Amino acid sequence: MISPGRNRLFAGGAILGAGLLAAVAGYVRLVRYLSDVAFDRNAPKSAETAKKKIAGKSEKREFIALLDEAAKKLEESGCETVTINSSHDGTELTGHLRVCPKAKRLLIAMHGWRSSWSRDFGTVADAWLDAKCSALFVEQRGQNASGGEYMSFGVLERLDCLDWIKWATENVSSELPVYLVGVSMGATTVLLASGLDLPPNVHGIIADCGFTSPDAIWRHVMQDNLHLPYYDSLYENLCRERIGVSAKGISTTEALKNNRVPVLFAHGTDDKFVPVSMTYENYRACAAPKWLLIVPGADHGMSHYVEPERYEKTVKDFFRAYDKVTPAPEVPPESKE
């Protein structure tokens, strides 16, 4: 005969077990929802609210107004819309070319997560034009006018960089020095591309507030911004499910260890989406010539907004330093210290 006390113990255990299962199920549903927000082109209707929580920031009204005005101006500036197909998987990709008369260099610019080419580069586009830069503004896969159902936080986008470099070399100029430029996820895209076999006409990279790896930014968002537990296999499983490839071991720090192209790293100290510590990690890992621009008080993607004159001067100095310098030949592995 089972005692009443043991019955109560069994009942309590059953309730605890049911509660644990419910909690696990709720966490899985939440992760599924967040992965839809993170990866999917067609995000849930509540994605904008979720995006603000994920980013951990509240943009100033005057900053938003400035972005909107600058984006409209850039869109109406007469850029030529061009398309290519990814050599990796055939996805159609869209870009917008703004040609500068008597250009001294060509920039290939990658925007950030759930943003756009005109919004992320509208405020700096005229400064680039004044500095004699032609610019190819790329729409990253899974966003806006480019094809693809999913974003991959730089995993596939880094390969798209090679296709855009090839197109620009063949259709814009084979003589101009090329610079890869990116903001946020776009910065991670170009930093990951630094570990690939970049052609010698790529003279430099400008990375503004990039994260160190897809896994690292997921961990930061889950733990620090959303105050939720994070499991190492989370992003890997989601990445395999969404884009069919592994993201394990893919990081900017690993790419930068083999990089031969000079890099200008920029970041704001008050960035709540991508912590400035990630840019310090990237800077330390970079094996090529490296510059560092840290802007006190700037939140995510706001360094140029907070200190435009210093930001633009640093970029121009970077161009002048490397326009005539081609990347050093790769040192054979047995010769490296």
Of the pLDDT bands very low, low, confident and very high (cuts 50, 70, 90), residue 286 is very high
Q: Is the pLDDT reported for residue 26 higher than 80?
A: no
This prediction has a pTM of: 0.86
Of the pLDDT bands very low, low, confident and very high (cuts 50, 70, 90), residue 225 is confident
| Dihedral-angle region of residue 154 (phi above 0 means left; psi in -120 to 50 means alpha; beta otherwise) | left
Give 58-213+250-326's CATH code, choosing from 3.80.10.10, 2.70.210.12, 3.40.50.1820, 3.40.605.10: 3.40.50.1820
pLDDT for res 2: 53
CA triple 196-184-102, angle to 5 deg: 70
pLDDT for res 337: 33
pLDDT for res 13: 52
Q: Is the pLDDT reported for residue 264 higher than 50?
A: yes
The one-letter amino acid code at 171 reads N
Full DSSP string of 149-176:
SB--TTTTHHHHHHHHHHHHHHHT-SSS
Of the pLDDT bands very low, low, confident and very high (cuts 50, 70, 90), residue 214 is confident
pLDDT for res 53: 58
For the chain, percent of residues with pLDDT exceeding 70: 83
- Residues β-bridged to residue 110: 138, 182
Residue in 213, 64, 183 with CA at minimum distance from that of residue 114: 183
Residue in 218, 220, 155, 160 with CA at minimum distance from that of residue 192: 155
CB atoms closer than 10 angstroms to residue 186: 29
